[in-house]
Amino acid sequence: MIVDFHCHSDCSDGLLSPKQLIKLAEQNKVQMLSITDHDTLDAYKQKISTPIKLISGVELSTTWNKIGVHVVGLNVDTKSESLLKTICAQKKIRLKRAEIISKRLEKCGLTNALETIKKTKKNHYIGRPDFAKLLVKEGVCTDPNQAFRKYLGAGKIGDVKNQWLELAEIISAIKQAQGIAVLAHPLYYKLTNSKLRRLLLDFKKLGGEGLEVVNGYQNKDKTDHLSKLCKEFNFKASIGSDFHCHNQWKKLGCDSQLIDSLQPVWSTF
Ligand code: AMP
Ligand code: MN
Ligand code: MN
Ligand code: MN
């Protein structure tokens, strides 16, 4: 079976509209799909008819021990007041953070970045990819990857720390919306093994139920490592492409066999 519980539409930093994304999922024979945009449920505003089983979802940025950690909320009630309030707070944080990033990038030769970005935005998401695009457009960087490497990635001038709501608050909002909280791309945070285990323990204690065992194309060692942790901590296993746009590293849809020996998160949907 082909499934995907982590991907982005143009309601956040993805390229395709929710409708186009679902069309592509149909072409790729995806049977279950969750569009998990950054800090927004806007993809679910429009009713789209499809044979695919759609599961509502969102990817929320959080802070755990001063480290930025992403949590995917799956099968959430998209009308939940508590979740919508949390998302509203996150959107405000995003905007404040964008103001800080914009100011900091002045030092790198980029003036009025935020104002320029706002003029061309069609959605409410403002994130580092927008600044990366502008750095390329203004000729400061050659491509978005370089923009992240030099200015926006971890530890660089445009990396603003400790902005997001705390992990506890985010998990609680997902639970209040009857959703399942899944820790997204656990190896992306580059934590030592012992720190990662502490994160998993805290995540579990706070009510987190799932672990993203597969995120996009990833080597077997990583999948084996995460599968072991998933079993040990008794999490449900989730898999997702983290698709933003088509390229050689990203394809929408994942083979569910990758997590054959684990309890899939979708068994309850
Ligand atoms: P933000 O939501 O503002 O924290 O931006 C994070 C987003 O930037 C991620 O969801 C990715 O889509 C994108 N991103 C992260 N690292 C890179 C990179 N090295 N090159 C291009 N895009 C990236
Ligand atoms: Mn993204
Ligand atoms: Mn993420
Ligand atoms: Mn993502």
Pocket of ligand 1 (CB under 6 A): 13, 38, 127-129, 144-145, 148, 153, 244
> Any idea which ligand is nearest the CA of 70?
3
Q: What is the pLDDT of residues 104-151, one digit of tens each?
A: 999 988 999 999 999 999 888 999 999 999 999 999 999 999 999 999
What is 92-152's CATH number, 1.10.150.650, 2.60.120.20, 1.10.10.10, 3.10.20.30? Answer: 1.10.150.650
Q: Please tell me whether the overall predicted TM-score, pTM, comes out greater than 0.85 for this model.
A: yes
Nearest atom within ligand 1 for CA of residue 97: 3
Nearest atom within ligand 1 for CA of residue 130: 3
Nearest atom within ligand 1 for CA of residue 127: 3
Q: What's phi and psi for 250, nearest 5 deg? A: -125, 125
> Any idea which ligand is nearest the CA of 12?
2
Position 122 scores a pLDDT of 87
Residue 267 C-alpha to ligand 1 middle, in angstroms? Answer: 30
Nearest atom within ligand 1 for CA of residue 149: 19
Is 26 exposed, middle or buried, given 0-12, 13-18 or 19+ CB atoms closer than 10 A? middle
Residue 11 C-alpha to ligand 4 middle, in angstroms? Answer: 12
CATH 3.20.20.140 for the 2-86+166-268 domain, yes or no: yes
Position 248 scores a pLDDT of 78
Nearest atom within ligand 1 for CA of residue 38: 2
- In contact, 75 and 179? CB cutoff 8 Å: yes
Position 163 scores a pLDDT of 86
Residue 70 C-alpha to ligand 3 middle, in angstroms? Answer: 5
Smallest CA separation from ligand 1 atom 5, residue: 128
Which residues in the chain land under pLDDT 70? none
Residue 132 C-alpha to ligand 1 middle, in angstroms? Answer: 9
Residue 253 C-alpha to ligand 2 middle, in angstroms? Answer: 16
Smallest CA separation from ligand 1 atom 8, residue: 129
Position 203 scores a pLDDT of 98
Sequence ranges of the domains in the chain: 2-86+166-268, 92-152
Residue 27 C-alpha to ligand 4 middle, in angstroms? Answer: 21
Question: Hey, which of 13, 36, 97 would you mutate to test ligand 1's pocket, going by the most ligand atoms within 8 Å of its Cβ?
Answer: 13
Position 109 scores a pLDDT of 87
> Any idea which ligand is nearest the CA of 184?
3
